[in-house]
Structure 1
């Protein structure tokens, strides 16, 4: 696809010297591109932060070409000092900005329009700070809850991921700020992330890990894509022509610029030839390596020109957009209200026994709040996504301000300031619980164990938090737990507390959002964007995580997240798409209409409760499991294909429309190396979660023709003889070789269909002859040509097609 600014960009590049071209693809300092003022190309400033703006003025100076290593490490710092977490170099020097919920939390809203609102607010703050590109959103699948950057990514499912990412990107770019969709691809762990080889089979690669990127690109056209650090099936992603040219450019028709992650390129000439346009940040050694390659002819200047054209076109696009869209002064108060709204919409009510929530305390009742997180909330994760919040709601203050005036609220820390066990504080908290009608515990994971460059060691909360909650359940029957955490956690006491509210890293509006939900001023509507396991061993990636000796095998294949729990019939702690409400919804009257463009789906959603609320209606495609004795493609029992987020007043009903196109019915066929629809019956399932299916109907699908299998001497006869015309060819040849009649030859050939041996060995044995391999190969090749079969390439089964 041709970029709208490509022609003008090519004209500009044609006027550049070799030195200018090298400068353009090598960045400038830590956060800028190199401008070409004489040619009308300004320098572009990039900033971090999908959940808020992170601008460190000391790091964006253009006075130095070789960015200081310390400055770079500051940008990705995951401190191991919890007492100094909020005052580290990164946050201390960053310009204050609105801290929105982490993308993992925003995804729990399943609300594309809300994602667009957040993207718009981010763009306004970017423009005010002089930034042209925001380095996000990150959309790697949350394959394992141990992954240190899981909170930066949306979901375990590519459909939810791609749709939510597109919402953020459109919000950014509609206000003139380019998005950088990252990290392309399969950056699913922080362990040895610059060198680890993610080894992924082709179907899983296309159906899961690439699909989110493909969908986001199709729906939002991000102006840049960022490659990941890791290798993918043996090749560094930034130097992978199959990934960048064949998939991204050719198959998906992507027309934007491709940049590296920071110091993610190891061989710059190879990266430029593969299609990586921009090397970030500036590195003198890599520039010299590229210059030598151009001058000695080992890298064609045309490849350099192509990269320069993409960067110049990106610059022209941003200049044009920001000229048309004037800068508006950020309304930080309004943005904080949006952060509160997003947090409120995305918090997930995981359990609510006996409808203990919302709290409706009688005059004079005492509420006890326990936990240091109530006064010093953990609102975000560590690393390059960290934001210095311009404002932050303190949960305890918000609870006191929101509760009825006649209600007494008392706070106890419960554990030490570092989150560890403190016997005296534990005893005091338990004693206070004995005289309180309701206890609210703010519990969390250890604050210093995960983030960029650091995976989580386990899925536990802080031991002291688990211990206190367990002890509370022995003496109190109204315990409500509010969780802050980067990803799914295990909760050994889950069946013994009355309510659990998952907030995740909910941003600066966390405190008021929780207060509004607990006291019923907001109706919880979040739904889990990942499956929560009962124990770590239940996770799909458990046996292969995080890899060994530089290789990370994605052993679970296409069965990631809920797909794995379903096929293995494992009961999760909380299923994918789960979340409770203070109202109730019913689903009725499912209808399908089959048209030329796909399947139109309608059903009626009704709010049968007493409160207004949002419901996330989830569309799954269900398939019966493949019979174990048939060599057919395996499929998940169900896979998300779409969703609708609907707001209804009490008693209101609405017809919800959803669609499936032919691609939604397809799987990635590794023989065809393309998406293929199988003939058969599937189920259309509408659910309130992946384990709460409300409506089901069947759909018969007329699939694509079954791809012909390549025949060779080792193909079993039963498979080979299914190919039209082959039996006649074999009978004619064998009759000629043996001197038997056609009917006699057919009689001797018939039992051969039952043989599990190769066709050559079977025929030799059956006819008691050493047949000519060359002649049989020719007969099989003729059959292959007639059927259109493709000869498999000689490659590892795990290597991308």
Structure 2
């Protein structure tokens, strides 16, 4: 490749390029501030006061979420918590509620780094309230394929947009005095065989795509932590990957934060230390601690390597204010953020209106038929470790009923996508009773939602693992509807399930795979069908025998009582919905995925909506031409009826205030502000769908062509293109000018109401090779204007937009020549263009 098309080889230190951090070794050429120097002095003094055993102990989790305190140097215990949409804290329970923001795909759909920064500030506020020092977020892996199971937990298919949103998020969290761990480093883009898969990725694809957002965030937001992934990259597991961690992350980019393993990812003591892993989580059994101290004494590891890791951990402790003598980075906290208000704002700013034939906003006085299971029981977040427990959830039915005049909203179930049991929730009042081997009660705890997840020593007061023999979920269930209710169990081990005094299951649920988290992510197993009457309470009990496996990092007790309401005939439900829609002026159908479609722990096999929801939409649209479909999913689904309805609004997983935000947008109180952060299309047309390894290897054979660049290369037309999104006004692109790499775009609000536009700038080499994308997003800016008003935005094109990774010289190469700079509303709707030569 070198020498063609005017390639100019260069190193990584280029003006305007995200290349270097601001570490203590001055990797980026920037001297430490006096405050940083003072913290470094405290860190060095503390390090010098520790013996080998204490140092090794500090690098290993003492439990699920924290590192040990070392009082001899004035170090408090460092506490971490899952994110990214909220701060769960150290307990998996709704006893300590968390604000639940919209999904990361929703945050990216705002195309607003400043809003992401405000979200980060709120999460820092939540973390400090819960005694958390480090948030295990954000996830900045790319949407390589729409089948990725945690697609909803990442931002975008585009590395530039991902990096910009991630910078805002990290900056906001850390400005609140709380650390972040940007994850999962790197190429952790699917869930199938995630613990063992070897992802085979070219160096060019790594640099231009998968490493790019990490590099941007290290340079632009200086994160205090990185989390390394379970998977291997090109034959080396990421917790031992010296090249990517030591040479690239720390060496080239100057990263000076901690490198923590994904939970249970660390496999080898010497391999992890030599690979640059600082912290092995969780504890107390890890590859560090006593094992690390022995490795040093046996001559397998140099103590200097241990010191490097300890220094990084102490630096983090100093930054967050838990190392005596060191002033924290943040001494004056940001102002208090109203969490519910911000969650509502992000949601409505994230909604993407992809189609509108004039049905929205809803005309005043219209009678509205609201249809769909997800309209009543909203799905506001994705499954897996991203789960938090908000104090309240506003469903679309709640929000629209409150916003519209009394009597104007009718509701019908239509089609229920939940084809399997869900966590016991509506109508259940449960508590946990802990007993010893003799059957004596030794403690009790709350159990809202029928879910128990006790990790490490997080047990009810008075209970220890040594004395605990059984946990019983017990209480009552009051049905909403009459008929045959199904009860079941999610979890592994010995259980007894009793409903209404009858025991329906007393046996063992055994694992079906070797996934160590199968008990958490597997589908519930049905075991009882009981005829019940609406409004009449019935006693329920689920007893679990707490047998813990050998050689686990820490004891975990996790299981769930699951339930499903009576299943009515789908055709009958659809017919009822049709009659409800026919009697209304506008029908609003909410379709959704379920936890078995989008969650951590597995990938999708297709992009279809579950159940009979497609049939429901078509039937309602045939009965009412003013049919609006709200798509409640965190990632792309097929919309085979999209041209048969009046409007399609994508609401993602909208967080706890999603129902009120939806009412804001449907009624026109606010316009939908989102633009697609990833391409939506059919499974048949999607260019990259391989997420299942073959013999343990997953080849990233598409190279640098994922997302919109792959759609363009293949000449395929998606349902809705990257960057697409409509508002309630129209925009005219008047002009574009470029002076050097500074681009100015003038737009006019040519509609009848105020609005916000996201001006997107794409850079297209005029003589691109077949192995280079036709165009890439190179900048964007939001602009607001009233009717008839004009505005200008200025976008600075980064040097990296003109570069490719040259695998011959193993360096970035600046590609000289002519480029067309295109600005518009999406990758497929480019309105104005100019040419520059570099």
Bin of the TM-score, shorter chain as denominator length:
0.7 to 0.9
Higher strand share: 2
Contact 2:103–2:653, Cα closer than 8 Å, also in 1:
yes
1:538 aligns with: 685
Cα separation, partners in 2 of 1:324 and 1:167, compared to 1, 3 Å: closer
2:78 aligns with: 44
2:410 aligns with: 410
2:5 aligns with: none
What pairs with 1:12-31 in structure 2 (closer than 5 Å)?
A: 12-31=46-65
Distance 1:640 1:527 in 2: 14
1:192 aligns with: 193
- C-alpha displacement of 1:546: 2.2
1:482 aligns with: 630
Give the alignment partner of residue 661 of structure 1, picking from 790, 795, 798: 798
- 1:267-311: CA deviation from partner (whole Å, max 9, x where unpaired): 122111111111111243523432332111111111011101111
2:169 aligns with: 168
- C-alpha displacement of 1:469: 0.8
Distance 1:17 1:289 in 2: 15
Contact 2:574–2:619, Cα closer than 8 Å, also in 1:
no
Cα separation, partners in 2 of 1:268 and 1:515, compared to 1, 3 Å: same
- C-alpha displacement of 1:225: 0.6
Give 3-state SS (helix, strand or coil) of 1:306's partner: helix
Distance 1:644 1:681 in 2: 24
2:308 aligns with: 306
Give 3-state SS (helix, strand or coil) of 2:183's partner: strand
Give the alignment partner of residue 519 of structure 1, picking from 641, 664, 667: 667
Q: Does 1:622 align with 2:764?
A: yes
- C-alpha displacement of 1:474: 2.6
Q: Unmatched 5+ residue regions in structure 1? A: 58-89, 629-633, 702-801
Distance 2:100 2:292 in 1: 39
Contact 1:625–1:637, Cα closer than 8 Å, also in 2:
no
1:505 aligns with: 653
Larger RCO (CA within 8 A; separation ≥ 6)? 2
- C-alpha displacement of 1:94: 5.5
Contact 2:124–2:178, Cα closer than 8 Å, also in 1:
yes
- C-alpha displacement of 1:223: 0.5
Distance 2:327 2:128 in 1: 11
What pairs with 1:599-678 in structure 2 (closer than 5 Å)?
A: 599-624=741-766, 626=768, 634-678=771-815
Distance 1:661 1:198 in 2: 29
Cα separation, partners in 2 of 1:277 and 1:215, compared to 1, 3 Å: same
Q: Does 1:391 align with 2:413?
A: no
Cα separation, partners in 2 of 1:625 and 1:539, compared to 1, 3 Å: farther
2:331 aligns with: 325
RMSD (CA atoms):
1.8
Q: Does 1:368 align with 2:369?
A: yes
Cα separation, partners in 2 of 1:482 and 1:623, compared to 1, 3 Å: same
Contact 1:148–1:454, Cα closer than 8 Å, also in 2:
yes
Higher helix share: 1
Give 3-state SS (helix, strand or coil) of 1:578's partner: coil
Q: Unmatched 5+ residue regions in structure 2? A: 1-22, 26-35, 420-566
Cα separation, partners in 2 of 1:114 and 1:518, compared to 1, 3 Å: same
Contact 1:156–1:560, Cα closer than 8 Å, also in 2:
yes
- 1:733-781: CA deviation from partner (whole Å, max 9, x where unpaired): xxxxxxxxxxxxxxxxxxxxxxxxxxxxxxxxxxxxxxxxxxxxxxxxx
For structure 1, which segment, 275-284 or 247-256, has the greater mean C-alpha deviation from structure 2 after superposition? 275-284
Contact 2:109–2:677, Cα closer than 8 Å, also in 1:
yes
What pairs with 1:120-519 in structure 2 (closer than 5 Å)?
A: 120-284=121-285, 286-287=287-288, 288-319=290-321, 324-325=330-331, 334-353=338-357, 355-362=358-365, 365-404=366-405, 408-416=408-416, 418=418, 422-519=570-667
- C-alpha displacement of 1:329: 9.7
Distance 1:137 1:396 in 2: 31
Contact 2:150–2:599, Cα closer than 8 Å, also in 1:
yes
For structure 1, which segment, 272-281 or 105-114, has the greater mean C-alpha deviation from structure 2 after superposition? 272-281
What pairs with 1:647-726 in structure 2 (closer than 5 Å)?
A: 647-701=784-838
- 1:110-165: CA deviation from partner (whole Å, max 9, x where unpaired): 01111011100110111011111111011000111111111111000011101101
Give 3-state SS (helix, strand or coil) of 2:684's partner: helix
- C-alpha displacement of 1:175: 1.0
- 1:576-634: CA deviation from partner (whole Å, max 9, x where unpaired): 0000011011222211112xxxx111121221111111111111111246567xxxxx2
Give the alignment partner of residue 586 of structure 1, picking from 732, 754, 759: 732
Distance 1:578 1:164 in 2: 17
Distance 1:227 1:613 in 2: 41
1:95 aligns with: 96
- C-alpha displacement of 1:526: 0.3
How many aligned residue pairs are there?
A: 651
- C-alpha displacement of 1:451: 1.0
Contact 2:733–2:747, Cα closer than 8 Å, also in 1:
yes
Contact 1:124–1:329, Cα closer than 8 Å, also in 2:
no
Give 3-state SS (helix, strand or coil) of 2:614's partner: helix
Distance 1:164 1:312 in 2: 28
Contact 2:371–2:589, Cα closer than 8 Å, also in 1:
yes
Contact 1:125–1:330, Cα closer than 8 Å, also in 2:
no
Distance 2:415 2:719 in 1: 26
